[in-house]
């Protein structure tokens, strides 16, 4: 059910880019444009985040909904598969995402650290990278610029 933009302007309309986000019109200019954007930030006085913001030191708390959300997410994914809107492998990926958004198999809604959610995300990402169908999706997208629904 995902929307895929085919241009920068369409991606702005879909909300994937902000109006002020820069766009490189020529692929050979990507690195140069990125370097210029970074130098522009430095000239404007950009400073790194406050000291103490290292991996594992985040203190941001995120509310997750636990098993009730996870169950609802799994049901929605199942119904999308049954309706032909999602492939079996879309279901695999979707259940991993639902687990992250739920905060794992927590019994009740609660606040968790940002690092806790990032750890769930990393675990799902690494496990999906080991799957042949994920590798096929990545290779296809890199080759064609389009998503593969396998």
Residue tagged 């259940």 (tokens) = 95
pLDDT above 90 covers what percent of the chain?
Answer: 76
The residues spanned by each domain of the chain are: 8-42, 59-150
CB count within 10 Å of CB 103 equals 22
- The DSSP result for 65-113, as a single string, is -THHHHHHHHHHHHHHHHTTSS-HHHHHHHHHHHHHHHTSS-SS-EEEE
Phi, then psi, of 63 in degrees rounded to 5: -85, 125
DSSP secondary structure code for residue 56 in this structure: T
Number of alpha carbons in the 13 Å side-chain half-sphere of residue 81? 16
pLDDT for 4-48, tens place per residue?
Answer: 788 899 999 999 999 999 899 888 999 999 999 999 999 999 887
* CA 44 vs CA 6, 38, 123: distances in Å: 32, 10, 37
Beta-carbon contacts of 13 under 8 Å, excluding residues fewer than 6 positions away, are 5
Q: Are 2 and 141 in contact (CB under 8 A)?
A: no
pLDDT for 49-101, tens place per residue?
Answer: 765 555 555 578 999 999 999 999 999 999 999 999 999 999 999 999 999 99
């Amino acid at each position: 059910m995902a929307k895929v933009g085919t241009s920068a302007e369409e991606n702005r309309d879909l909300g994937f880019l902000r109006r002020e986000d820069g766009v490189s019109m020529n692929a050979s200019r990507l690195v140069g444009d990125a370097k210029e954007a970074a130098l522009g930030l430095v000239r404007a006085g950009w400073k790194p985040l406050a000291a103490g913001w290292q991996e594992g030191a985040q203190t941001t708390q995120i509310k997750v909904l636990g098993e009730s959300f996870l169950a609802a997410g799994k049901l929605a994914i199942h119904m999308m598969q049954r309706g032909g809107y999602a492939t079996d492998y879309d279901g695999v990926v979707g259940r991993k995402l639902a687990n992250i958004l739920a905060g794992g198999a927590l019994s009740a809604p609660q606040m968790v650290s940002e690092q806790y959610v990032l750890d769930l995300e990393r675990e799902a990402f690494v496990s999906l990278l080991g799957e042949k169908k994920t590798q096929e999706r990545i290779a296809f997208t890199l080759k064609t610029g389009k998503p593969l629904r396998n």
